[in-house]
Each structure stands twice: as C-alpha cells, then as structure tokens.
Structure 1
Amino acid sequence: MPGEDPLKAGQAVTGGHQDSAIRGRLTAMIHRVSPRGHFARLLASTALLIPFHNATARAQEAAVKANSVPIGTIEVIQLAVTIGVLGAALISAIVLIRERQRTATENGELRGRLADANAALQRSEALLNLRDQRVVVWPADNRKPDIVGSLPIETGSPEERAAFLAFGRWLMPRSAAALENAVAALREKGTSFDLVAETQAGAPLEIQGRKSAAHSIVRFVSLSEAHRNLARLKLEHQQVAAEHDTMLGLFDALKMPFWLRSTDGRLKWVNRAYWTAVEAPSRDAAVRDGREFLGSQARDAIASQHDQRPVFEQTLSTVIGGDRHVFSVTDFAGAGGSAGLAYDVSAADTVREEYERTVRSHADTLDQLNTAVAIFDADEKLRFHNQAFQKLWGLDTAFLHSTPDNALLLDRLRSEGKIAEQPEWRRWKENLLSAYRSVEPVEHWWHLPDGKTIRVVGNPQPKGGVTWVFENLTEKIDLESRYQTAVRVQGETLDNLAEGVAVFGPDGRLRLSNPAFATMWDLPNDAVQPGIHVSLIRDLCAVRTTDGPWAGFVAAVTGFDDERRNGHGQVTLQDGSTLRYAVIHLPNGQVMITFVDVTDSVNVERALKEKNDALLKSDQLKNDFVQHVSYELRSPLTNIIGFTELLSLPATGPLTTRQQEYLDHIGSSSSVLLTIVNDILDLATVDAGIMQLDISEVRVESTVAAAAELVADRLDEHAIRLGVDIAAAPKNFHGDETRVRQILYNLLSNAANYAPENSTIALSCRETAEGVEFSVHDDGPGMPPDVLDSVFRRFEPRVNGGRRRGAGLGLSIVKSFVELHGGTVRIETGENRGTTVICTFPAAPAGIRAAAE
C-alpha cells in the first residue's frame, strides 16, 4: 500500500538513478536469458530498449494507480524480460522470413540451371549416340573407360565393350598397332592425334584423340563416301610411301651405284654406293654438287638412246678411286624422270682373263706330258693337242693346225697305215665317234701295226666335245713292278694289323696269315705255315672253344656251293675272351677269314644293357609314381579350389582385405598346380598309348581367339601385344579342337614368359602343301644350342631370360599333341633374334596315331 512505504512508492513512480540501475540490470538479464546472445546484445545496444523501459515504467505507474498495490522489482524484471524476448522473437522472425525468401530465389535459379544442364546433356547424348561415331572416355584415375555411341555394322566393329577395346581383333594389324601407340601417348603424355584406320572389313575410320583436364577421349567416326575415298587415298598413299621408302632402303643397301634423275636430267637421289664412288662426303652433297658417276660421253649416249626407247643397256667404263672400272649400265626413262643402275663387271672380265690364262697354263702343262692328249669341240674339230700326240702319230704341224675334224683325222691315220685296218671301217669309226653322244667316258684298245698297244679313252665334256687320251701300254712292266711293291706293302700291313687274318685257297690250304691270327687262337708257328690244310687248323682251334665255328669255316673253304655267301658271327673262347669273325669270299675263289678281339666291347655292351634295363625299370617306376601321385593330388586340389571359391562368395560372410588377398593367392596357386597335374596326366596318358583324339572340324579363327583370350591377362600384365595373322589360313581343318587350343595356349604362354615388355608376340596361321601351319614368334633372347637340344624334354624348366620358372611341361605337351595329330614341331631360334615355334598339322590326316611315340 502507498501508505505503508511511501518513499519506495515515490521512487518507483518518479524514476531517476534507480531507473537507470534497473535498466542496466534488465539488460544484463536479457543477455543471460536470451537463447540467441547476439540478438540480446543487439537489443541492449540499440534505442529499441528505451521504449520498452518507458513502457515498463508507465505500466508500473498505471498498476500502482489502479490497484494501489505496490509492484516489486522482481515483477518489473520479469515483465521486461518477457517484453524483450517478444521483441527478439519478432526480429528473428523478420530475419528468417528474409533468409527464406533469398533461399527460395536461389533454389529457383538452381532449378533453372539444372534444367538447362539436363537439356544440354540430353542433346550431347543424342549427338553421341548417332550410328556414325563412337567415343571412348578414360578417366584420370585409371578406371574402366566409358563407351558412348555406336558405329555402322558394315565397319565390322564389335558392339561388345571388351571386344571393341581389343583393337587388334577388328582393325588391320598396322592400324591397330598405330592406334595402340597413339592411345598410350595420349593417356601418358597428353599427345593428341588424328588417324585414319582401316578395319578388317575394309571400312576406313577417322580416329581423333584429345586430352582434357580429367579425361582422355578417343572418338571413332565413320566417314562419308567422299571422306572414305579420301581416307582410302590416304591409306594408299601411306602404303605407297612405305613401299617407296623400302625400295630406297634396298637401293641404298646395294653395293651397285644407283641414281634417280628429274625430267631435266639433274640428279634427284643417289644411294650410298654412288656417293661413295664419286667421293662425295654425303648423299646431299653429291646431289647438290651434281657429281656424275659416268662421263659426259656416256651420259650423252644414254640420253640419245632414250630418245628412241626408254631402256638403255650397255657396258661403259669410268674411273673410280684412280682405277678404271667397267660397268654394265641399265637406265630407264619414264614420264617423271629416269633411274639407272650400274653393275661392276670388272671382276668378271678379270675372271675371264684368269680363265684364259688358266686354259693356257693347262695347255702348257698337258704339252709337257708323255701321254698323248687331243681335245675336240662340239663340232668334232681339233682344238688342242700336245706334243706327245704329235710324236705318237707323226703328223705334220700344218695339218694339225688346220683344225681337222675327228673323222678326217682317223681317215688320215688309216691312209698312212698308222692304225690297223678294220673289217668294217665305217661301223668301227661310227662306234668310236659315238663318244660325242655319250655322257660317260668310253674306252677302246688299239693294236697298232708297229706292235704297240694303245689304250684310248674318250671323255665327253659338259659343253660338248670329247677329250681323247692315248695311253701307251708299253709302261705295263713299270706298272707290274709297282704292283709287286704294293703286294709287299700289303703284306707288311697285314702283319701289323691288330685283326687276325687268314686266307685259304680253293683247295683248302692256307695261303697267308698274320701274327695276330696265331696269337688269338694260340697256334704254334709251324701250324700257320702256308700250305697247311684248314682241317688241321680246325683241330688245333677246336680245343679252345666248346662250340666253335670252325666246322662252318671248313665247309665255306672246301665247299662247292653255287652261291658263295659271306658270313659273320661271334665266338667266346674258354679263357673268356670274345672274338668277332667274318668269312669273305674273294673274287679269285679264295676265302678270307678275319677275327677281331671284341672282349672289351662285349663287356661294355653287357654293362650298357644292364644299365639300360635298370633305366627302363626306373622310368616305369617314375611313370607309375607320377600317374599315382597325379591322381591322388587332383582330388584334394579340386576340394581346395572349390572351398576357395565358396569362401569368396558373399553369402559365406565378409572377408578382410588381407584375407581376400590370401584367398586369391590360394586360388591362383591351386589352379596352377591343378594345371600341372592335368598336364602330367595328359603326358602319362600319351605315354600309355591310350589317349584318343576327338577329331572334328577345327575352326581356326575361333580357336585362335579362344587361346588368345586365355593369355590376355598375362599379356596385359607385361604390356605385351599379340599380333594375329590368319589371313592365309583355312577356315577349318580336321583335328581335336580342345588339344589344338591347348597347344596354342602353351605356345603363347611360353612366348609371353620370354617376350620383353612392350613387345609384340606374333601368332600366324597359313595353309601349306603339308597341311596347316601355326607359328608363334617372340622377340626374346632366343635359345642357345645346348638348350635347344633339350627343349622338348619333360621336367626341365629353363629360365634363360624368362620371367618365371615353370614345371617344364609346356613344349613337351605341344610336341606330344602335335605328333598325335600326325604333325611335326620345329623351332627356329638364335641369340638376339627371338624364337619361333612352328607346328604343322595335316589338313585331313589319313591315320591318327593313338599315342605319341
């Protein structure tokens, strides 16, 4: 009540310092109570609080007047806080409304921009999905590329993603290789490119490669007819340019000077032999300076000849290095200029002169012989005779130098009585002159009127003509003495032979023997004297062997069989030594018996047989062990692979990254081991001779594609390209398609193991006269000869520059399966020139073997 505390009531109404204190406390309270401090601070720091404070004071005053009830400080504070909160809420609502309006405006703008972007995207997709282009986009993070659009069916490009990215399957080899290199340069270095490629269907494509900040883009465009013609012209130009470069490279490698001239006769291009011959420092210098290989007269003769006909062929001379040489020059003039080639024939002239000197030397040599020699040409004219010929027949020099024919010479000798008169002279002469039509030497014996005996030999010459040799047999005595000397030499030789030799006459008596014969049979000296009968020697030798061959020797020496057959055999003596004998019937009716001590050889042979038997048993044990172990391993390996695949399924449960890696290693290792076990079983089946081939039509293209697909991951791992050339291959042939695919897979795997990174493995197939030939070539280090000898042996893994070491069964399986088809395998290799394995299959085998030998 106002009467109770008038002082306080007056203070509340009139205001003053107390009001200011109240306003300060009210502001502090608003700071503490307000949920948003910045709005409270805003209210406290602005003039908006003043009306609220005035309103609070007026409210308090009105309340006092109306109710005459005093209002406490707490009520005033509560009322002020309430009013402040309401004001802050009002301001917040205003700010939120404005923020919402701004957000709605931005959302509207974003929706419009999104609609424009969607429309642009639809237009882009519509343009990209045309049937005349296809775009491949590689992201920068090496993810799988995106492919948009498609190409016409007539281009031959596949629609499937993986097949399309395998450019070598549907592009020509040269175009595929160029595109692979261009794509690699685009993705690695950002190098743009524009190419014209040709598909295997013969359709040209324009390929463009561009690099953006985040993508690598390659666009394939199917060209219009005009563009196709232009592209074909470009391809033909590239081929012509390549052939032009090849021809220039060939001409530059020739050791013969070659030149090209323009229509005005100036040099346009020369090869190395040309500018070396004209002593120019380089090709450009020779062309620039116009250094001529031939003289001016020779060039004028060539130009004059070209006015009449385009080809000039003549032998000309020129000076090279200070020496004169003779060249056979061929020059051709065309519409765009001329080309010439010079072949040095100085060596041929030298050889011709050397031949003439040799002929003269031979003539001089023959002229010094005591044997008469006369040479007649193909026309039967006398071309050469030595002094011995003239001396033998006593003919005058003028007649001989007149080159008489052979028939006239015979008539001259007959008329002068220097050869004996024949009963039928014409027939005798024709028989003698038949030597000109013979291919083998002919021999005649002439008994001259002066008592001489002449041996006449006519030797036909390859180019026609006959060389007659007249040998005077008065030298027979000298020959007989030589014969006796030879007999004595033969006797000394027989006496020093390690072989025992005994010769018996038709009467059964010993003609000769050597000491080795008596030593081998332990015979006394008086028992091997000439004239001893073979029966006595038989009795002496029979005691040294239980079942000796001497009864057969006696029958061979003393028998009267119409057919005399040689024989041989082996006999073992009682002292353990072994003799090998041979019975030889000589032309003069005698019989020669030879003996060779082969005791050491027999012992070695016996030891080798025992060792061979042991090796055969060991090999059989090995095969049995391999077959047993292989079958025992296959079952647990199959279980391991099955459980590994089961663990990899999502239904089994999640795996950690490391567990997944371990599981992948287990699966891959098990698959490799299962492959080895299967290979061992295949080889064991082949060795057992029970493998049967499923002969059917083998489609070459699909079989090659399947084998290439099997090794694609391994090739990509080392950036190795596979070039396939089956243009000359037949569409199919008879064989086991599964085994042929296995053969190609092993060949490609072996090549991938040795091929360098970023290289190309060439797989080709062609039809030959023998059948179908597959060849796989790699640019690896090649095989040395010692490795090549054992390359088809089993369980002999070879590294030799390869990346991994296998079980050594790949090429063994290849050889076994190819031979099962009745084919052959050969290897062409060498250091630093790679390795080529060539397998030849018969196109239609008549009889396929059941197992490889």
Structure 2
Amino acid sequence: MQGATRAGERRGAHSSCAIPALSSMGLAMSLAGLPAPAAAQGLAPLISRAAPQDFAGLALVLGLIAFATTTALVHLRERRRWARQEALLAGENEELRARADRVAMLVATEPQLLVSWHGRDAEPQIEGDVGILGEGASGRRVLAFGSWLPAAGAQALERALERLKERGERFQMNLRATSGAYYEAEGRAIGGRAVLRLREVTGDRLDLLRHRDALAEAQAERRALAGVLDGLPEPAWRRDAEGRLIWVNRAYAKAVEAADPAEAVSRGLELLDAPTRKAMERQRAAGATYRDRVTAVVAGARRVLDVTETPSVDGTAGIAIDVSELEAVRSDLERQMAAHVRTLDQLPTAVAIFDAGQRLTFCNAAYRELWQLDATFLEAGPTDSEVLDELRARRRLPEQADFRAWKADVLAAHRSVEPQEHWWYLPDGRTLRVLANPNPKGGVTYLFDDVSERFNLESRFNALLSAQGETLNSLREGVAVFGSNGHLKLCNPAFGHLWQLSEDVLADLPHIDDVIRLCGLLAPRQEAWDVIRGAVAGVHDTRTGFAARMDRRDGTVIDCVTAPLPDGSTLLTFTDVTASVEVERALKERNQALEQASRLREDFVHHVSYELRSPLTNIIGFVQLLDAETVGPLNDKQREYASHITKSSAALLAIINDILDLATVDNGAIALACEEIDIRETIDAALTGLQDRLAERDIGVAIDVPADIGRFVADAKRVRQVLFNLLSNAIGFSDPGQTVTVTARREGEEVVFTVSDTGRGIAPEVRARVFDRFESHTLGSGHRGVGLGLSIVRSFVELHGGTVALDSAPGRGTTVTCRFPRVPSRAAAE
C-alpha cells in the first residue's frame, strides 16, 4: 500500500510537472511565431504518452496556445496601425514646430511678456521681454505687481489673476505704471494653463489712454470740487455769460431760503442786492475780478459778506464769505486794544513796542515822561536805532566807551527768541531795569522799570535793619521772637544773660517748651509760663498781648510783656524791674505816710477852724453889742478899742473861712452855684468890702470895663471872692498914692479879669511859690498875710475851668490875669 501510494504520488508529480511544461512550451512557440499545426505535431508525442488524467491539463494548455496565437495576431495588426499613427504624428509635430517658430517670430516682433501657470499653485513660467517694465527689471519684479504698479492697479490685477486661475475667467485691462507708462494686461486659459500677457501700449492708443485718464481725473476733480463747494458753509454760485445763475451750493440755497439748490437756480433767487450785482456785471464786462465787502440778508438776518466773483470762459464763479463775526471780533479787538492802551498809559512802567521793521508802534505815557522826547518825533514812528541815537544826543543813555557795540547788543533783541535783560545807569543817577521781550509776530516790547527808588529803599531798609539790630543788641531788656511753630527766631544778648542761657543753646533755636524748662529753674512760677506758652504756640481766634510779673528765686523781679506780630510770630520782652519795684515800694510807703499826715492835718484844720469859729462868733457878737451901746454909753477910747476888736475878729474869721474853703476844695466837696452874673456889678461888690482899706492907705482904684461887656455864667460868690483876694493883695503891696487897676474884657469864648498894681513887684525866686498855701512874703511893704489869698484865687478859677497867670518884676508892679470860660464845663460846675 505504501509503495502504491508512493508510485501514484510520483505519477501525479510527473503529470503536474508536464502540464506547466506543456503550457510553457506552447506559449513559447506562440511567441516564437510557430504555426499552430506544427505546434500540434510537436505536441502529439507528448499527448500520446500522457496519462488519461492529464487530458484536462492538456486541454488547458491548448486553450492557452489558442489565446496566445490570437493575441499575437492582434498585436501584429495593432503594431502596423501604430506605425502608421506614428508617421502621422511625426508629420503633425513637424507642422506644429513650424507653427511655433512662426508664433515665436510674431511674438518677438512686438515687446511683450507672457506669464503662464500650469496649475493654481504651480511655479509661473515667464517668457518675453522683461525689459518692458523698465531697466533692470527681473522676473521676480514682474510678479511683484506693487513694485511697478500703483496699489489700486496692483490689487485689480491680482484679483483678475485669481479669477483666471480658479474659474478660467478671461480679462483684459489697461494699467498705468508708477513710471507713467501704460500696459495692456490680458489673461486667458490656454491648454489648461493660465496665461497672462503684458505689453506696453504705444502710438495712438497710448494717446487715447492718456486722454481718457486725464478726462477721468478732471471729472473726478470736478466732482470733488463740486462736492467741496456744495459742502462749504459759505454761499457759492456760477453764472453763465448772461449773468444768470446756473449752479449754487446748499449754503446759497439756505441763505436765500430755498428748499434746495435746484429751486434757487430755477427761480433765480439772488443773494445780493441790485447795486452789488450791477457792480459785479461791470467788473465781468471788463474781465476783472470783483471783490468787495457788502451787507446782505442771509436766511432772514443781515450779515456782512466778503464777495469775490471771478470771470471764467463761459461765465463767472463767485463766493460770499460771512465776516460778520470777524467784524465783531475786530471791533471787540479794537476796543480791547484801546482799553489796553489806556491801561498801559496808567502803568508806572515805561512801555515801548517796536514792530518787525524795528519801528515804534506804541509807547505809553510813562515812556514819554521817562525820556522827554518830542511828541512829533514819537508819532513819526522812528526806528529803534533812531530812538537810541536821539537819546544819546540828549545825554540820557548810559555813558559807553564803544556806543556802536553797545547799541548793536541792544538791537540784538530783534533777532533773539529769548527775553533779554539790561541794566542802564543813567547820567542823572537813575537806574533802569530794561527788559526786551521778543514778540511772536516779530518786533520787540521794551519795559523800562525805574528801580532807583527801590534801590534807595533797599539801602535804607538794610541800614535801618542794621541799626535796629544794633539797637536790639544794646537794649538792657531781654527780647526774644518766637515763630508760629514755637521755635526761637531771634533774640538779643540781654535775653540770654537775663535767663543765664548759653549762646550754644540759643544758636540751636530751641522750642518754647525747652526755653520754659531752662528758665523755669530761676522762676518756678508755672502759671506765668503757661500763659507765655499759650501766647506763643497756642491756637486762638484772636491774638492779644499780655503782661506778667515773675519773681525769681534770687529775688530779681522780671516783667514779661508779649505782643503778637503780623507774620504770626510772638515778641517777648523781659525787663529787670527789681530796682524800680523797690523804689515803688518805698514811694508807696512814703505816700501812705504823707497821705496819713495830710489827713491828720486836714482833720486838725477842720477841727481847729470849727472850734475857733464858735468863740470868735461870740466875740464879734458881744463887740457889736458893746459898740451899739446897748449896755451903756462908751467913751472914745472904749469905742476905739471896740473897733479894733471888731476888725481883728473879722480878719480872723476871714482867715478861718479861707481855710475851710480850701479844705472843701481839696476834698472835692465844693459845688459851684453857676448863674448869669453881671461883670461890672461883680467888680463893684468886691470893692465894697475894701473901701476902708483903700481910704486908710490912700490907694486909688481904676476900673476899665466896656459898657457892653454884659454877663457870663459863673458862681457869683466865688468870683467876688477871687476879685476880693486879688484886690486885697494889690492894695497890701501898693504904696500910698498909687492906683490899682481892674479891667475886664471878652476874648473869644473867655472873660478875662486883670488886677494890676504899680508896687514893688515880685522877685523871680518868689514868683514860683506865690500860689502855694501859707506862702507869705512882705517884700518890704509891711503887709503880711497868712498866704492863702492867691491859693484860693487859683483854686476857684480852676474850678470854673479857667486859668490864672502872674506877670511881675521888681520895681514894675504885679499883674494877675484870670480867664473864665463864658460857660463853665459840666465837670467844673459839678
């Protein structure tokens, strides 16, 4: 079994190998071109030797042989056809080559450039003359359209190429390069390629394109100009050769209150009045431009217009500019300039303005007064150089060794852009600060400031400040000034010496708290220092000064006075009043002793006077009874004694009364009984009590009183008492046979009494004490009183508000003048 199996396998292997062999052989034979019968004969032995199971494979091989044979026949037939087709294509190729040569020849005859793209993203192929785009042009520059075309042309060409590449959309356009050359760009799809042809336009077509572009530019400019004119806020118009409106802008239509420009043109609405239009017509006929400033009604309001109308080829064009606001501004500017001129004329600083031509255009009153130049010279508008020459001729400029160089330096202000400052020291001693300020529109404005007074004031101020500093340092009082921040600002040496503060401490400008702490060691009274601290560093609505007295530990007494200063500082003054305080204390003690002694004396005088008056009154009464012989007759001797007793008692009573009156005056208890009194009657009444003395001493009395002297208001009793004492004193110091003169007169609001005698007079050393109490001097006359008469006179006259004056000299007599006010003051009456 195993052997049989292996034998069958060998046979199968042989058969399987035979079939491919046969097949390969038949294919080879067919490819070799052998006839089929021959092939069959050659295969016959193989078929006869083949096993039956190999006939299926054989049939397959035979089918393959038949297919190969058929295929070979078809191949041969197609090969012959391909040969014919190749010969035909070779002929067409030759023909296309000839045609391409002709096309290249035609392309070369005209300058042009071809660019083609096989696909959208393919690299372009450039053929033709690149030089048509300019010298030095390259292939890269051809496709960089923006390098040789304006932006708009470059963008239009790029968009057209994009459409050509995407959709095959052909285009043709004329382009103007930045160099001014014109190019024709044509694009189309050829053989699946996008082709762009560029060629320069020349000849008549170039002229046509240029004229067309010029026309387009002119039309664009015209449209733009028309748009600008239509948008102007000023009315504008055009007229034909007949003067009729053919175009107006919207502002014109609004000015004539038309709905739109077309209505204004169709209705012929005129903005300007007839006289103005006639004047414009005359200028148009003369071929001249009309310019004038006129008034017209614009939108119902009268306005001022600057009208300009210019002739053109087919008519005129005009515009009206509203200058009403400009006129108002100009008028306001003129008013402001006039106001500025008036203001500058009021300034004490001299001002001169020169224009760009260096001519004087304005100068104020201070300038004219400063330089004293002729008005005609200034009104003529001299140049800056001429003004300097004129001032030099009048010797009113500073003396200069090189005047030309100095003047050039001054005139350099006209070429400078920065202000310049000069100092002029004039020959008359004045000093000027000269500021030259360039004007924005050209020219220079000069300011001449006379600083002589300021320099003098500064000099005097510095001298005064130095003198005050020296004065402050020489004061014995300690002076310190504290600022509003509480720190010491300045002090004199006496302040540090008084409070024993070193110079180093004061040099640091300590705070008031530190000063109080150091000074408090000598004067520990805190209340006064608290007040000082509040005055220096406190915050108050009102700042007032105060005074305080401080007692130091060493027994020194210091008076402190604070005073607020205008700048917010505070002035402290410390004065050592120890000596004056001690003197004051001693004086107070002495005054108290004197006042006590005076009170004792007054009490004694009152007591003695009252005690003497009572028995004296009894004496006088009894003497009068005896003299009246009520108790029996008296002999001559007794009567004489009684008369002496009466006179002596009356004199003593008068003295007592005078003492009481003076005491009453001293106490302020006396009151005047003022009334209208007759002057002459008052004099006569005073003389009545002195008749006996006048007769006894053989003294005459002369009364000099005007008849119309009238009356005045006074206490009659006190005035009689004043006159009585004056007359009594004059009689006592007169010699027998002499005359005492009494005069009365009015001087303004005063009544003046004068009592004079021709006696021995009063020596100068005595005259100063005659009005003192109990001062009595005989002066060799034998008359001696108690020294109260003139004291009473002065007291009663002063009570009336008057005055007493004495004029006397040895050997010339004495004159006493009493002045009474016509009406005593209220205080004197009370």
Query: How would you bin the TM-score normalised by the shorter chain?
Result: 0.3 to 0.5
Q: Give the TM-score taking structure 1 as reference length.
A: 0.42
Q: Give the TM-score taking structure 2 as reference length.
A: 0.44
Structure with bigger gyration radius: 2
